[in-house]
Amino acid sequence: MSSVTVLEKAQELQNTARSISESQKERDDQERVLRRIDEVRTALQAAVMHQQTAVLLRERTGQDLGVSGLDTARAKLESKSRGGLPADRAFVEAKRALESFTSELSTALRQLWKTWAAARIQEVSPARFVTLGLDERREATELYESMKAKASRPKVDSASILTFCSDRDTLLTLLQHAPAETPQGLLELINRLDEGGVTLRELADTDIAMLREFDQDNWYTVTRKAN
């Protein structure tokens, strides 16, 4: 075997090794990029979800939160992706920016939602429920408790906002014809009547007048005792 032939074989082997090495590097780079893309995608999904919640909160309550940080994070990754596959640093910075945006927006959402929802709950007086019929009173109580549960959740999401607002609208509809201010005497009278066993003789003229004044007389039926 001539020295030239050996040299040629050695060159071929070197070229083959280089090709394998480069192919492996390309595969490694592709796998690296795919892993980083998955990481950024997960962070982006969380950021988008919080952004959508903030938009819904603004639409339903008028409370506005800035969401420009999401576009900034996207633009940063796009600017470093021109001309080829982004380096690890570009992915890491984009992921960090998205996570920071999500964390800050999540905190702001909780604070704003808690304040707004608590104010809406305080606008409703449970004492007014007693002036409703039994079924409506039960429904009003359930709606009120549902609102309090949604307002106290540690995590704010679109479903909580939608349910809270729907419960509030339904509750306000139920209370449309209920007295805005319920006198203590009326509350005591209604509770007394609801316990049962009250005869017409035991009702004073002022009791009946108060029931009529506050549109409560239609909830009660007078019947004659068998004995």
What average pLDDT score do residues 36-41 get?
A: 81
DSSP string, 47-70: HHHHHHHHHHHHHHH------HHH
Q: Are 163 and 146 in contact (CB under 8 A)?
A: yes
User: Residue 218's Cα: distance from chain center in Å?
Assistant: 40
Cα angle for residues 111, 115, 118 (degrees, 5° grid): 135
Q: Measured between alpha carbons, how far is 28 from 30 in angstroms, rounded to an integer? A: 5
**pLDDT score of 113:** 94
In tens, the pLDDT along 181-223 reads 778 888 888 888 888 888 989 999 999 998 888 777 877 888 8
Banded model confidence at residue 1, pLDDT cuts 50, 70, 90: very low
* Its pTM surpasses 0.75: no
Give the end-to-end CA distance of the chain in Å, rounded to a whole number.
130
CA dihedral over 172, 120, 68, 84, signed as positive or negative: negative
Least confident of 22-26, 138-142, 194-198, 214-218: 22-26
**pLDDT tens, residue by residue, 44-58:** 888 889 989 999 999
The residue that leads in pLDDT, 1 or 30, is 30
Retrieve residue 135's tokens: 């079924």
